[in-house]
Amino acid sequence: MPSYIDIAVNLLGSALEPDTASIIQAAAGQGVSPLIVIGSDLTESAAAIAICQQYPNQLYCTAGVHPHHASGWQADSSKQQAELCQAPQVVAVGECGLDYNRDFSPRPIQRQAFIAQLALAVELQMPVLMHERDAHEDFIAILREYRPQLSGALLHCFTGTHAQMEAYIDLDLHLGITGWVCDERRGQELAQLVPFIPQNRILIETDSPYLLPRSMRPKPKSSKNKPEYLPYIASYIANLRGENADEFAARCYQNSVAFFNLDRVHA
């Protein structure tokens, strides 16, 4: 059975949290292990570290402040985040970035929090896991300043245009692809783009419990997306790319291990 790493699981503060043990077990039964748990604010990041400690080698996490929560960014937030990032379970700074679609936090504060977290990732020489929605121009302008000093940069849940994809690849970003690509209504453009993502730059994720792949048959009874569905997403993407599904899965696994430096963590 191929091995997979789900690089973005919203385990905390979501519909998955009450079923953590069974979620992890079901995923591992499909070869999906470890899971990367997303920290979307500093409190949640601390909770993510705690749950990772309960499931060593099965869960790792990020520590960051999502743009939705940027209004909570304070003078001492960078110091708190740096302390969280010292935990061995933390494999990336993030989720951070810009979201001009929902504007849950004022845009100037989103930019301030994003810049601070990129600077921290540079200081700690840790990879960064990022979010961008309807904010491409500001996002890439800020990122260009920091990219040369970053050890690694991942835009998760990429759903942008061909021009945006090329701009991100030119900046040597990794791109995370979700089950959005399986949506015949919204995912058609992404389906056309995934064959053009370089082999060493593509990562796969569920972003569960969101973005349940619409093309799954039989359709899951629950609308919750789960990490155990990652092999379906991987196979779907491999087919779009004209690649052998097992070889594509192995490549994504190795890309994830290298990006998150999991060899170091497992050692």
Question: How far, in Å, CA of 31 to CA of 5, rounded?
Answer: 8
Asked if residue 116 lies in contact with residue 73, where contact means CB atoms within 8 angstroms, the answer is yes
Query: Do the annotations mark residue 99 as ligand-binding?
Result: no
User: Burial level of 94, CB count in 10 A (0-12/13-18/19+)?
Assistant: buried
Amino acid at 47: A
The C-alpha atoms of residue 154 and residue 202 are separated, in whole angstroms, by 9
Would the annotation count 69 as a binding residue?
Answer: no
What is the number of alpha carbons within 13 Å of residue 111 lying toward its C-beta? 13
66 annotated among ligand-binding-site residues: no
131 belongs to an annotated ligand binding site: yes
CA distance 151 to 126: 6
Q: What's the CA gap between 228 and 224, in Å, rounded? A: 11
Residue with tokens 């993030």: 94
Q: What residue numbers does the annotated binding site for a divalent metal cation cover?
A: 95, 131, 156, 207
Q: What residue numbers does the annotated binding site cover?
A: 95, 131, 156, 207
